Amino acid sequence: MPTFQTFKDLSVTFKSHPVTDDLIVVKDKAAIIQSISNLLLTNKGERPFQPQLGSGIQTALFEPLDFGSAAILKNEVRECLNKYEPRIVINDILINIDEQNNGYEVELYFTIIGRNDKQQAIEIFLERTR
């Protein structure tokens, strides 16, 4: 009988379940995708008592929109997820420059450790905020 790991996290919306009145729980792929998004969009030093948690992508977003900055972003994404998301193995990271919208389209391909699922993909758009 095949065994696989299951993952659960609290939803970041903190809404209550309509029947049980408990907090809503996200499971498996949704929990990992939520965690990846939170890690990448958190700046280092932003979390109390965990100053190293997060990524440095915000600083790279204010650099010129070029392949050098895209390479820095790719490295930051890989380092952050390798350090803080042990539930996945990164297969590929593609970063495309979107000059029309002044940002980067990030495509992350990964597999979940401990499961026989197929490769998963996430698309995130990174842009500067004023």
- For the residues 41-68, what does the mean pLDDT come to? 87
Short-list 85, 51, 56, CA closest to 69: 56
Domain annotation covers residue 44? yes
Domain annotation covers residue 1? no
Q: Which position has the higher pLDDT, 35 or 128?
A: 35
Task: Please tell me the pTM assigned to this model.
Answer: 0.81
Domain annotation covers residue 45? yes
Q: Which CATH number fits the domain that encloses residue 119? A: 3.10.450.40
**Structure tokens given for 19:** 């029947």
Domain annotation covers residue 27? yes
- For the residues 4-27, what does the mean pLDDT come to? 68
Domain annotation covers residue 3? no
64-103 pLDDT, tens digit each: 889 999 999 999 999 999 999 998 999 999 999 998 988 9
Domain total of the chain: 1
Domain annotation covers residue 58? yes
Q: How far is CA 46 from CA 39, 77, 78, 123, 124, in A?
A: 11, 17, 19, 23, 20
- Give the range of the structural domain holding residue 83, as residue numbers without chain letter: 8-127
110, β-bridge pairs = 90, 120
**Exposure string for 57-66, b = 16+ CB within 10 A, e = fewer:** bbebbeeeee
